[in-house]
Structure formats: structure tokens, C-alpha cells
Amino acid sequence: MADSLMPTYSRLPVTFERGEGAYLWDANGKQYLDAIAGIAVCSVGHAHPDIAEAIYDQAKKLVHTSNLYQLDLQQRLGEKLCQLSGLKEVFFSNSGAEANEAAIKLARRYASQNNIVNPEIIVVSGSFHGRTLATLSATGNEKIKEGFEPLVSGFIQVPYNDIEAIKTVAKNHPNVVAVLVEPIQGEGGVNIPDEHYLATIRELCNQYNWLMMLDEIQTGMGRTGKWFAFQHTTIKPDVMTLAKALGNGVPIGACIAGEKAAGILTAGTHGSTFGGNPLACRAALTVIDIMEQHDLCQQAQKQGNYLLQQFKAQLGQPQVEHIRGKGLMIGIELTEECTGLVKQALEKGVLINVTAGKVIRLLPPLVIDQQQADQIIATVIELVDTI
Ligand SMILES: *Cc1c(COP(=O)(O)O)cnc(C)c1O
């Protein structure tokens, strides 16, 4: 059936026809509980009526005019994101990789303004930043880069969660201009750094005049129980990127700059035909409305704590190496490869994901209730028992 598609994905043998909240139904009418939400995208649930209504209403008025003109909805979304993050100005893209491309270009431009030639950006092992040439070059996973050489230069990789390694680079590389890191690694296996990691990176960025750039594409928009994961700390980044849950499935990304990084990407230095068009911005504004109305950050925290606590209490098998998470971003690391569990879970009517080979990753919609959380717990426990 998929002969006419490039085989870039090994897809599971299921076709979903419709969704509602945390549920999906396939072409045969079988119901599934979605504990991955289109990879942390559909946070307010599938087919949310307010979003459907907003998209329809907007489509009847205006979908696109380009960034040649003033866009009121883009202005409003920009203001809202600045208000939620405490940052200053936004560039809108259509995806996560493009949001990171904007951040990388911003860092290059920052270097050029400061007369730094051959600038370098510190990145970390196990990271994921996207599939475009620059973002895959920044990504700390050899498999993703393999066969795509020559890569984009200007990235120095250090081990994740290793402050000393960053300090060593600081001493030996006067041309560093930025650090790009995920507050919690998603694709890398739901890896949570030590408590002071981000704050110490912040201090180093201040000391060396680097930009602190956080990739919150997966952790942002309430996933970890705060609007943005950095809000679990007292620091603020200079640049933050968003995408995934921002439009609940309508493609939109954002690169947001704080004081130190504002005013660097000026007219003519960057752009996007579609970026921040009225349809996408209307969807994202509606997502934020729904999240505020239903206090979904709080919900993510509550259900996330419950899931984590239950897993820690009930998953005592020797094949369970580590259970970790923040909000509704949860990883259960097993001692061995377990990608086969995804299909077994599908058969049981629950959608899960396995990343980094042996980490069961759960990213359910932020709207799940206790009973749905219990179903996820029961299914995962049953599956781990089969290992
Ligand atoms: C998904 C993801 C990206 C890439 O986003 P796309 O929309 O697929 O380009 C980048 N960074 C992180 C942390 C992600 O999880």
C-alpha cells in the first residue's frame, strides 16, 4: 500500500480513522488509548471541538496571506508566548527542525555581530534537534547523521549532563557562542539532568557571553507540568524553541528570543512563506486558551505524578532498570532492547512508544483522566512481564 512513499518510516500496521480526547479508532472500529499523542503533539486531545471550530472558522475567513503583511493572529500569539515565557520576541516556523534552524542562525548572527569567526555551538550526546542538515549535525546520535556527510560544521559535542566537559570546552574554544540543549531529552530516552545542570549552564553562558538555547520542542507547552520545562528552575534561557504541541497537530513552530538574543534576526535575515500563518496561529491560540481554561499544566503534573508513583510501586521486575519522568513525559528504561513492545501494546489497544532502543516512552495527552492512567499502567505492567 505504501509503495509510492519513500520508506523513511517503518510504520505499524494500523490506520486510524478518527479520534476523541485520548482515544483513537481504527478503520475496523477498534478503540485505542493514545499514550503517545502523535509524539507529544496532541496535548489537548484528538479532534478537540474548540480547535475544530477555530480552524473551520478561520478557514472560512483567511488561511494565508504571507509575512509580507501585518498578521494580527501572529502578533497575538507572539505576545501570548512572550507573556508565558518571560522572553521577548518570536519567529514562527512550521516545524521543530525549522525552529532550531532559526536558533542556530540566530547564534551565527550573534557571533558575526561580536566579530567571532568560525563560531561554535556546544551540543550534547543523546540529543535530538531535527532532521534538516544543520539540526541533524547538532544532534548527538550517530545513526541520524550516518551517510549525510559532509555535515554542517560549528558544533562541538560534549557528554550530556557533564558540566566539567563544558568548562573544558570553554577554556579551549574562544569561538563558542552558544549552548543548545534539551531540558529533558526526549528521543534520547527521557533523560533528566542533575538538579543544577541548567542553572550551571546559565552561569557559564553569563560568564562567557554565550547564548543559552533550550530546545523545548518536546518538553514545552505544559508537557512536564509547567508551560516550559525551564520554569521548574529559576533561570531563563536566551533562546527557546517550540513546536510539537503548540498547534495540537496543526504544523507550527517557534523560536523565541529573550533580551540578550532579541533584535539579532532583522529584516531580510530569515523568513518562511508559511511560518505563523493565520490558520496555524489561530489553532495555537486556541490550544493555549484550552490549556488555561482547564489548567492542563496542573493536570499534567497531577496525572504524571500518579503514573510515576504507580510505576515505581508496581514495576519491581529485574528487567526494569530505571523509571523517570516529569509531568506527562515518562520513561521506563529496561535492561534490554524492547521495541517489540510497541506492537504488543497496539494489539492490546494502547499506543506507546519505545525510544533509544530500551526506553518505554509515554507522552499521553495532558487531558487523560485517572481511569485512562490506570489503563496505561496496567498495560505497561503486563507488557514488561512478558520480557
Ligand atoms: C521532535 C523534536 C524536534 C524536531 O521537530 P520536527 O517538527 O520533527 O522537525 C526537535 N527537537 C526535539 C527536542 C524534538 O523532540
pLDDT tens for the chain, 387 residues: list them.
558 999 999 999 999 999 999 999 999 999 999 999 999 999 999 999 999 999 999 999 999 999 999 999 999 999 999 999 999 999 999 999 999 999 999 999 999 999 999 999 999 999 999 999 999 999 999 999 999 999 999 999 999 999 999 999 999 999 999 999 999 999 999 999 999 999 999 999 999 999 999 999 999 999 999 999 999 999 999 999 999 999 999 999 999 999 999 999 999 999 999 999 999 999 999 999 999 999 999 999 999 999 999 999 999 899 999 999 999 999 999 999 999 999 999 999 999 999 999 999 999 999 999 999 999 999 999 999 998
User: Any idea which architecture 50-293 has in CATH?
Assistant: 3-Layer(aba) Sandwich (3.40)
> From the CB of 95, is ligand 1 less than 6 Å away?
yes
Residue-level pLDDT at 85 = 98
Domains 16-48+295-385 and 50-293 share a fold: no
Domain spans, the chain:
16-48+295-385, 50-293
Nearest one of 77, 82, 108 to 289, comparing CA atoms: 77
Burial of residue 3, with CB atoms counted within 10 A of its CB: 0-12 exposed, 13-18 middle, 19 or more buried: exposed
Burial of residue 23, with CB atoms counted within 10 A of its CB: 0-12 exposed, 13-18 middle, 19 or more buried: middle
Q: Which amino acid is at 335?
A: T
Q: Are 364 and 352 in contact (CB under 8 A)?
A: no
- How many other CB atoms are found less than 10 A from the CB of residue 145? 15
Atom of ligand 1 nearest to the CA of 185: 13
> From the CB of 212, is ligand 1 less than 6 Å away?
no
Task: Please state the pTM of the whole predicted model.
Answer: 0.98
Which residue is closest in CA terms to ligand 1's atom 11? 129
16 annotated active-site: no
> From the CB of 307, is ligand 1 less than 6 Å away?
no
Residue-level pLDDT at 2 = 55
Distance (Å) of CA 243 to CA 288, 302, 339: 13, 23, 26
Q: Are 144 and 89 in contact (CB under 8 A)?
A: no
Burial of residue 37, with CB atoms counted within 10 A of its CB: 0-12 exposed, 13-18 middle, 19 or more buried: buried
Residue-level pLDDT at 1 = 54
- The topology (CATH level 3) of 16-48+295-385 is Aspartate Aminotransferase, domain 1 (3.90.1150)
Q: What is the largest CA-CA distance in the chain?
A: 62
Nearest one of 380, 336, 333 to 185, comparing CA atoms: 333
The 3-state DSSP composition of the chain as helix, strand, coil percent (nearest 5) reads 40, 20, 40
Residue-level pLDDT at 387 = 87
Among candidate residues 226, 228, 230, 244, the one labeled active-site is: 244
Atom of ligand 1 nearest to the CA of 130: 4
Among candidate residues 128, 228, 230, 274, the one labeled active-site is: 128
